[in-house]
Amino acid sequence: MKKIIGFSSVVIVLILIVWGYFYFNTAPSEVAEKAANSSKTVDVFEENNTLIFEPKKSQAKTSVILYPGAFVNALSYAPLAKELADAGHKTYVVEMPFDLAVFGKNKAEAIMNENDGEQFVIGGHSLGGVMAARYAHENKADLKGVFFLASYPDKKGSLKGSHLPVLSITATNDGVLNWKKYNENKKYLSNETTFLKIKGGNHAGFGSYGKQNGDRKASISKKAQTDETATAIINWLENTGN
């Protein structure tokens, strides 16, 4: 009986994964693919299932680890990662198993262990932010901060009392974020949390991919939302000494 139940659970998970790929239109845009090319200021390469954006010249003391949203390919965050790297912050966008961060919560560990000369903040978009917070909850002493893009921590990822600097960015036209849950879960944030709401932005605008089912239409361009998000993260890092 246990074997039957176990097999059924695996089948259900596989069905949900297949359904997710068909339901969500989250393929990287041409803009994202272009941003994944190296430039005069940033080297872009893939290593150990991670997209790495490395400044060619001066590098800030804090690097960024980003966990993608559910069923969103890591490449979709190339425009944002490129801007962060242009500002000097080496950025790691993690490729998740089945494009689901729930299966890769601890992916940051290998990145941090293999680059122990760097200090890190971690964050993510949507589900990626939830999983990033869970990792941060278990590794507070090794991190310099946590950021959320249309996301929030749950009880398992509570940052309450941690004194970690936190940045929470949302968008006014986000039709995917569970706003009730977002507000309820503010109790799990640290007292050092900075809030920012992007006027006219939506859920999919935190990446560069197709329209996401359930989302509302943005009244600003994806580039504008990417620029505003990158600026907010860079300013937050500078203001917190990172």
Give the pLDDT confidence score for residue 24 in this predicted structure: 54
Q: Binning pLDDT at 50, 70 and 90, where does residue 68 land? A: very high
pLDDT digits (tens, 9 = 90+) for 94-133: 999 988 899 999 999 999 999 989 999 999 999 999 999 9
Digit-coded pLDDT (tens) for 1-48: 444 444 444 444 444 444 444 455 568 999 999 999 999 999 999 999
**With the C-alpha atoms ordered 77, 82, 84, 88, is the resulting torsion angle positive or negative?**
positive
pLDDT beyond 80 at 237: yes
138 with 119: CB under 8 angstroms? no
Is 80:107 a contact under the CB 8 Å cutoff? Answer: no
Q: What is the pTM for the complete model shown?
A: 0.91
Measure CA 75 to chain center: 12
β partners of residue 54: 43
Q: 17 vs 186, which has greater pLDDT?
A: 186
As given in the structure block, the two tokens for residue 60 are 């800030």
Q: Regarding predicted confidence, which is higher, 13 or 205?
A: 205
Query: What domains are defined for the chain?
Result: 27-239 (3.40.50.1820)
Q: 211 pLDDT exceeds 90?
A: no
Q: Which residues contact 112 (CB under 8 A, 6 or more apart)?
A: 65, 118, 120, 142
pLDDT at residue number 67: 98
> Across the strands, what pairs with 53?
44, 91
Average pLDDT, the chain: 90
Banded model confidence at residue 213, pLDDT cuts 50, 70, 90: confident
